[in-house]
Amino acid sequence: MNIFYDENIPYAKEFFSDFGKLTPFSGRDLTAEQVKDADVLLVRSITKVNQQLLSLNTRIKFVGTATIGFDHIDKDYLASRNVTFTNAPGCNAVSVSEYVLSAIMVMSERLNFNYFNKTVGIVGGGNTGTRLTEKLDALDISYLLHDPILEAAGDKRKFSSLEQVLACDIISLHVPLTNSGAHPTYHLLNDVRLKALSAEQILINACRGEVVDNQALLSLKQNNSGPHLILDVWENEPNVLLELIPYCQLTSAHIAGYSLEGKARGTEMLYLALSKLVKTPAKYCLSEFLPTADLAEIGQQSSDVIAHIRARVFQVYDVRRDDKIFREQLSEHSFDYLRKNYPVRREFSALVLASEQKNCLVKIKNLGFNLTK
Any idea which residues carry the catalytic annotation?
Answer: 208, 237, 254
Q: Which residues of 289-302 are buried (b: 16+ CB within 10 A; e: fewer)?
A: ebeebeeeeeeeee
Q: What is the Cα–Cα distance from 182 to 218, expressed in whole angstroms?
A: 28
Contact (Cβ atoms closer than 8 angstroms) between residue 211 and residue 185: yes
Q: What is the Cα–Cα distance from 289 to 275, expressed in whole angstroms?
A: 18
Q: What is the Cα–Cα distance from 252 to 320, expressed in whole angstroms?
A: 9
Q: What is the Cα–Cα distance from 96 to 85, expressed in whole angstroms?
A: 24
Q: Tell me the backbone φ, ψ of residue 64, rounded to 5 degrees.
A: -130, 140
User: Helix 127-138 and helix 93-110: axis angle, to 10°?
Assistant: 50
Return the DSSP state at 26: -
Q: What is the Cα–Cα distance from 326 to 321, expressed in whole angstroms?
A: 9
Three-point CA angle 330, 334, 335, nearest 5°: 80
Closest Cα to residue 86, out of 108, 106, 62, 105? 62
